Amino acid sequence: MAQPTYPAHALVVRKTKLGETDLIVTLLADDGRLLRAVAKGARKPTSTFSSRIELFSVVDALLVEGRNLDILKEARLVDANLGIRESMERAAAASPILELAGIIAQPELVHPKLFSCTVAGLKAACDADPAQTLSLSAACLLKVFSFAGFRPSFNECVKCGSKIDLSGGRSSVVSFSVLDGGCVCDDCSRLSEVVHLPAETIQWANYLLMSTFADIAQHPCERRVAFDVMQLCQSWSREHVGTRLKSLDFLFTCGLF
């Protein structure tokens, strides 16, 4: 009896070797679900899959339902996102977007905004200067956290709701509690475990969260600030998602920027 097949419009977020010639391909479907399928023979030099299921690629796929893992039967390349794949700097900066999407997505959880945000962030990174990609990547991480229900509070105290003054810029600091979920006012900080971050970092993080990718590409933050926001994202992921993003650790130490 033939196994049921189904189509999927999806983003390739991870590839894992299986045996001598096969790959396990992890896909983020356009409804936000995570799909895992075996691409048989994908590592052979003559495989038709090899150029179609690269990381960062958007594909139209045909899959066959399997007992443990589905089987990838066909894959038509829709968008290779070559601007990322052909630049080591862009690829390093954009990799945390893929990693976070692959962690947040779940096999049975429908979440269309996760796909659309991730794909939009990658598309913007393709056309951006490598240094601008840092700002776009940080923005996409913050947006994905928010869509997943882990939105940080940047302009209001997470405990009492009072407004946080971010006007001081780099010269002033703001109390921030990763555990509690965002900025904390002076009164509430006495009862919270906080770190003191430059107001400039929080101000830019709020801008990246609330702005479109097009606006961010036109007005990116400085490299130093982008890395500060990404450090905040790493702490946020560890506390609220339960894991460190390995691609962020690489980005911080690779020396490409």
Mapped to the 3 state alphabet, what secondary structure does 19-77 carry? CCCEEEEEEEECCCCEEEEEECCCCCCCCCCCCCCCCCCEEEEEEECCCCCEEEEEEEE
The answer to whether residue 172 is domain-embedded is no
pLDDT value of residue 257? 87
Residues 140 and 23 in one domain: no
CA dist., res. 132 & res. 242, Å (int): 28
| Span 87-105, pLDDT tens digits | 999 999 999 999 999 999 9
- What confidence tier does 9 reach under pLDDT thresholds 50, 70, 90? very high
Residues 108 and 222 in one domain: yes
| Beta-sheet pairing, 22-29 with 5-18 | antiparallel
Last residue of a domain, one of 33, 60, 79: 79
- Mean residue pLDDT of the chain comes to 93
- What confidence tier does 170 reach under pLDDT thresholds 50, 70, 90? low
- With b meaning 16 or more CB within 10 Å and e meaning fewer, what string describes 73-111? eebeeeebbebbbebebbbbbbbbbbbbbbbbbeeeeeb
| Span 115-169, pLDDT tens digits | 999 999 999 999 898 889 999 999 999 999 999 999 999 999 999 999 998 887 6
- What confidence tier does 66 reach under pLDDT thresholds 50, 70, 90? confident
Which amino acid is present at 3? Q
CA dist., res. 92 & res. 206, Å (int): 23
Last residue of a domain, one of 79, 113, 129: 79
| Structural domain range at position 138 | 85-152+181-253
Give the whole-number percent of the chain exceeding pLDDT 90: 82
pLDDT value of residue 67? 83
| Span 14-59, pLDDT tens digits | 999 998 889 999 999 999 999 999 999 888 888 877 788 999 999 9
| Beta-sheet pairing, 22-29 with 34-39 | antiparallel
Strand partners, 17: 23
- Angle (CA) 241-246-247 rounded to 5° is 110
The answer to whether residue 169 is domain-embedded is no
Q: Max CA-CA distance within the chain? A: 70
pLDDT value of residue 44? 87
Last residue of a domain, one of 35, 62, 79: 79
Contacts of residue 51, defined as CB under 8 A and 6 or more positions apart, other chains included, come to 77
Is pLDDT at 1 greater than 70 in this prediction? no
Instruction: Decide if 144 contacts 115 (C-beta within 8 A).
Output: no
The answer to whether residue 222 is domain-embedded is yes
Is pLDDT at 12 greater than 90 in this prediction? yes
Is pLDDT at 74 greater than 80 in this prediction? yes
| Mean pLDDT value of segment 175-200 | 93
